[in-house]
Structure 1
Amino acid sequence: MSREVDKGASAAESTARHIEDLILEGSLRPGDPLLPEREMALRLNVSRPTLRQGIRMLEDKGLINAEPGGARSVAPLATSITDPLIELMSSRKEVVGDYLELRGTLEGFAASLAAVRANDIDRATLTSCMERIDRAHDEADARNEAEADIDLHVAVYEASHNIVLLQVMRALSGMLRKGVFHNREKLYARAEVREVLRHQHRAIYDTVMARDPAAAARATEDHMAYTRRVLAEIAAAEARLEISLRRIDGGTITQRG
């Protein structure tokens, strides 16, 4: 849907501010390609020179990326894994628990807000995500189920209608997609775990749709606690296996025959 730009003191600044608002509210997402210049200018009801100047302001701020061939896209905001602190944290296995603990608290809050604030569009998006989870689960498609899992969580953040919470949680989900803190495919490689996750996602979905904020928060927190426990068990099993393998060959620094 097009929205007319406020023709204030500077049309270019107003255009830039309008696009910033779309990014902030989540209508424009990291990586989204922008329309061609001619069509975007028509949608925003501004001249192409004005649009160009506004886009340039956003490029200077790092909000818009210029692509080869003149195309432009929304920058990958707050999802970079090249930041030294993020890289340092992701290299420490003990940080995974802290990451999931934080997500549990924030996502419980997001789910409680979504139960109260979700509108018909939000509820339709949540339903679509849940249907994708069910379909992928029935087809034993672990990769698609894992993707639909993340999309359901993002849909809950969007349905919370809290802009700061949405952007923070989108950043965390972006890191999850890239395997920054843990490899979610390890969860979905286990059929029994996939079954539990499906039931937990159904509980989150059902409580949000039932407009029950307390139950939605509880279902989300239970889900994150379970995820944290299973990942800890997987990590412990992998550590034991590494020790056993080292014992076989003497840690690679002996001359066992």
Structure 2
Amino acid sequence: MASEVNKGISAAETTARHIEDLILEGSLRPGDSLLAERELALRLNVSRPTLRQGIRMLEDKGLIVAEPGGARRVAPLATSITDPLIVLMASRPEVVDDYLELRGTLEGMAANLAATRANDVDRATLTRCMERIDEAHDKADFRDEAEADVDLHVAVYEASHNIVLLQIMRALSGMLRKGVFHNREKLYARPEVREVLRSQHRAIYNTIMARDPEAAARAARDHMVYTQRVRAEIIAAEARLEISLRRIEGGSLTPRN
């Protein structure tokens, strides 16, 4: 849908501010490609020179990044953590537990707000996410189900209509998709865990749709507590398996018969 920019004394600044607002509210997401220059200028009802100047302002702020061939994207937002520090954090089990603990608090807050603030558009998005979880679950496609899992949580953040919470959690969900803090596919590879996770996602969805903020917050927190516990169980089981294999192989330090 076309948006018209109010062309005041500084049309370029107004254009930049309009795009900033779209980024801040989450309508333009990190990594989203912008329209080609001609179409974008028409959409914003500004001249191409004005658009170029406004885009240049956003590039100077680090909000828009240029790509080869002249394309432009929304820059990654909401995190100042450098890649080496992320790797360091992810390598420490206690930090991963802290991450899941933080998510438990923020997920509960987001679900509480979503149950109160979600509009019809938000509720339709949540429904589509839940349908994708059910479809992937029925097909036993744990990779697609894991992706739909993250999308449902992002939809809850969006439905909270808290811009700061949304941008923080989008950054964290981006790390989660990349397996920075823990491998979701390990959770979904276990059928009994997949059943519980779907039930928990259904509980979050149902309580938000029922506009019950306290129950929604409780369902979201319970989900994160369960995720943290199962992850610890998987890690412990893998460690025991490694010990058993080393015993069979003599620690790889003895001659094989």
TM-score w.r.t. length of structure 2:
0.95
Q: 1:43 is matched by which residue type in structure 2?
A: R
Deviation at 1:39, TM superposition (A): 0.7
* Consecutive aligned runs of 4 or more in structure 1 exceeding 6 Å deviation: none
Counterpart position of 2:177: 177
Counterpart position of 1:218: 218
Q: Distance in 2 between matches of 1:253 and 1:82?
A: 39
For 1:210-249, what aligned pairs fall within 5 Å after superposition?
A: 210-249=210-249
- Local SS of the residue matching 2:59: helix
- Local SS of the residue matching 2:65: strand
Q: Distance in 1 between matches of 2:243 and 2:82?
A: 31
Residues 65-105 of structure 1, C-alpha deviations (whole Å, 9 max, x = no match): 21222111111224688533222101112222111111010
User: Which stretch has the larger CA shift, 156-165 or 76-85?
Assistant: 76-85
- Local SS of the residue matching 1:70: coil
Q: Distance in 2 between matches of 1:9 and 1:102?
A: 45
Q: Indicate conservation of the 8 Å contact 2:79/2:168, yes or no.
A: no
Q: Indicate conservation of the 8 Å contact 1:55/1:64, yes or no.
A: yes
Q: Distance in 2 between matches of 1:248 and 1:90?
A: 30
For 1:58-73, what aligned pairs fall within 5 Å after superposition?
A: 58-73=58-73
Counterpart position of 2:194: 194
Deviation at 1:196, TM superposition (A): 0.5
Q: Indicate conservation of the 8 Å contact 1:41/1:51, yes or no.
A: yes
Q: 2:16 is matched by which residue type in structure 1?
A: A
User: Which stretch has the larger CA shift, 123-132 or 55-64?
Assistant: 55-64
Q: 2:86 is matched by which residue type in structure 1?
A: I
Residues 190-227 of structure 1, C-alpha deviations (whole Å, 9 max, x = no match): 11110110110000000000000000000000011000
Residues 158-197 of structure 1, C-alpha deviations (whole Å, 9 max, x = no match): 0000000000010110000000000000001011110110
Percent of residue pairs bearing the same amino acid type: 84
Q: Distance in 2 between matches of 1:143 and 1:80?
A: 29
Gaps of 5+ in 1: none
Q: Distance in 2 between matches of 1:245 and 1:221?
A: 37
Gaps of 5+ in 2: none
Q: Does 1:22 align with 2:22?
A: yes
Counterpart position of 1:109: 109
Q: Indicate conservation of the 8 Å contact 1:79/1:175, yes or no.
A: no
C-alpha RMSD over aligned residues: 1.5
TM-score w.r.t. length of structure 1:
0.95
For 1:1-257, what aligned pairs fall within 5 Å after superposition?
A: 1-78=1-78, 82-255=82-255, 257=257
Q: Distance in 2 between matches of 1:80 and 1:163?
A: 17
User: Which stretch has the larger CA shift, 64-73 or 145-154?
Assistant: 64-73
| Residues matched between the structures, number | 257
Residues 105-160 of structure 1, C-alpha deviations (whole Å, 9 max, x = no match): 00100000000000000000000000111111111111111111111100000000
Q: Indicate conservation of the 8 Å contact 1:158/1:166, yes or no.
A: yes
